[in-house]
Structure 1
Amino acid sequence: MASGSVWVGLRRRRYLGSSAPWRGIGYLLGGVLLGVLVLVAGLVAAVLGAALAVVLVGLPLLALLAFAGIPVAALERRRLGLIDPTTPAAPTPHRTPEVPGISAWFKLRVKEQATWRELAYTALLALVLWPLDLLVLACTVGAPALLIGTPAQLALDGGEIRAAKLWVVGDYPHAFATALLGLALLVPLLYPLGAYATARAALARLLLAPREAELTTQLAEVTRSRARLVDAFEAERRRIERDLHDGAQQRLVALTMTLGLARLDAAPDSPLAAQLATAHDEAGNVLKELRELIRGIHPQVLADYGLAAAIDDAADRSPIPVDTDLDGLPRLPESVESAGYFTVREALTNIARHSGAPRAHIRARHEDEVLHIDVRDDGEGGADPARGSGLTGLADRIAVLDGTLTVASPPGGPTVLSVEIPCRAQQFQGLTTD
């Protein structure tokens, strides 16, 4: 067995012939060296900090000691691979600051429980764990090694020696017998050494990378990354809308005006006039479609006047009549307004295409710092968001905002789409429509 957990190796017959005992020894030896280094460095830093505190120079040094556990814990998490190389490396329980900079990093680390848990582990390593590691190594490896080295020690000294400080050996027959005794002791003692190394690593993993903390940290990071992707997507939508509005649309307007002027200069009823008229009409149709596309990407009314005005605009452009109840809807965070608007627009599109409803109803309220939107129709019912209605992606988008999207659509109707997004009203109140 070339690799694998030391604990698994202990239960196999080939444990002594595998790398597991050597990895256990290496893990404990590394713990001794790291513990001594941490103890010495910590004492030096504490003494220097206390001595220089009178001139305020030592205060930052003492403050940095609170973060000493972070690099020590990072190294300890990497060393866990010696005990179990088959297990993925324990991830850091620390979160990534939302903004760059040393100040943001320090503020976040001070608030995290992991920082203080790692500091406690570092103190435990410096004061308790490395002496235990050294004691186990001395009893399970050191003493047998001294006995095994008795013949070499006798050859170097040339006289009587005290083997492992236990008894006197004066000739080679007794020296080789002592070496065989040391080898016989080493073989069984490697088993408790492996068990202790496994328990020692389990303690480090428990304190430095608890499973709950791993899952919580990973989930928080995924949530933040999804939120960043949504923000980036919204920013890209606004950029595309702005480029189309200020670039392609203005060029089409200029082209339409040029074609209109050219029609005035062309002889009436001539082939050129007919071609210019056709080109002018096509340019007008393209301009109309481009304006609809721009409105669909990110309507200007949403940015200027808020969600209530944008919903009213979508209702006015709906192919079926829509009743709206939006009284008192304030300006909300941009991401919330965007998600609410596109959800309403997708719902109206589905109603017009699939429901057969003669009319739709939209009600939106902001109560108790939660945005509530209900879109209702009296159509045939039986709507299933999973069948490619476009609501699945919107539900994921709303989930990033800690919101929910539900659809109730029994056969025969009515169909009710409900959205709830926790959010606070903006300090300024934009214009809203009645």
Structure 2
Amino acid sequence: MRNIFAVALGILTAIGGFLDIGDLVTNALVGSRFGLALAWVVPVGVVGICLFAQMAGRVAAVSGRATFEIIRERLGPRVAALNLSASFFINLMTVTAEIGGVALALQLASDVGPLLWVPVAAFAVWLVIWRVRFSIMENVTGLLGLCLTVFAVSLFALQPGWADLSHQMLAPVIPENESAATYWYYAVALFGAAMTPYEVFFFSSGAVEERWTVSDLGRSRLNVLVGFPLGGVLSLAIAGCATVVLLPAQIEVTSLSQIVLPVVAAGGKLLLAFAIVGIVAATFGAALETTLSSGYTLAQYFGWAWGKFRRPADAARFHAVLIVALISCAAVLFTGVDPIMVTEYSVVFSAIALPLTYLPILIVANDPGYMGHRTNGAALNIAASVYLVIILAAALAAIPLMVVTGAGQ
């Protein structure tokens, strides 16, 4: 049982990272419009985030410090400030979306309007961060998020034509009613969603929270190799369900409620109940991750005391940032902004900002001054360099594709 809970940080990071409100909708939307023609992006993103998180986790375990502490020290305050500004802005967008996502998920369960759930969701996130131990938070949220495996169960229950689905994945074709620009826009969006920087901020900071050392490097690899591929598999299952049920009916996903239509078709109310529990857990887990990441990034950059393992009185500025972030994001939601739209924009902007975080971690992971003899090996550096090229290409293409396609319209 101890070994099972040892991977909970990776599960929570993957569930919150791959399957937040924007990813849930985006994967279903892509399936309803393109079938599985964009399925190839998911494994590309999974391998990329595994490389990224593995380096960040190893840096945290060996040095005992998290991402922004090292970025500021290694690259200087000015370069780190640019990284901080972009990362913090995107993170706040994501907090807004995740709080709204929790509210939308609770609406599915209660039929009560989402705006009434926004303050409840924000307060619950603050209460868990303030009062619940980190290990309990990651175990409960991560394991409840596994209810999202109901999408994989539903895909099998729908008895699709596996040969056709395999052909769509292995020989992708852009549908006649979609443009090449739109296709590549969603490819960038899916890639940005898979490699969202806050996942790594949370993962590396969580390693410090749990006081990982060199002896925990095996645990770090286990977290990465179990958690992130799991998130990728569930992402493909959501897209597959949409391909089987929504694409033939020409239902383009525009709301959270449409995501669960294939689940209802496959197993009725019983599977729907599991889906709702999983969606609430995933969006709540993502809200915890992103809110904590807001405090992590600022506190680490400015050298403040930080961490859930510290009492609020001992890390007052860190906890103040969390409260201000939650209140601000909840206030934005009360303007009537669509949390799904916010997240879809945030994942594209994440792709744009990703090089600012990925490159410093790659540099530090190769610096013997921080890592001693535990720097990247040759094979890892080759793979990491290939992904640096991919990340730069996605970042450069994101804005032009957004403009040309009208954000995927």
Higher relative contact order, structure no. (Cα contacts within 8 Å, ≥ 6 residues apart): 2
What TM-score does the superposition give when structure 2 sets the normalisation length? 0.23
Q: Which has the larger radius of gyration?
A: 1
> Which structure has more strand as a fraction of its residues?
1
> Which structure has more helix as a fraction of its residues?
2
What TM-score does the superposition give when structure 1 sets the normalisation length? 0.22
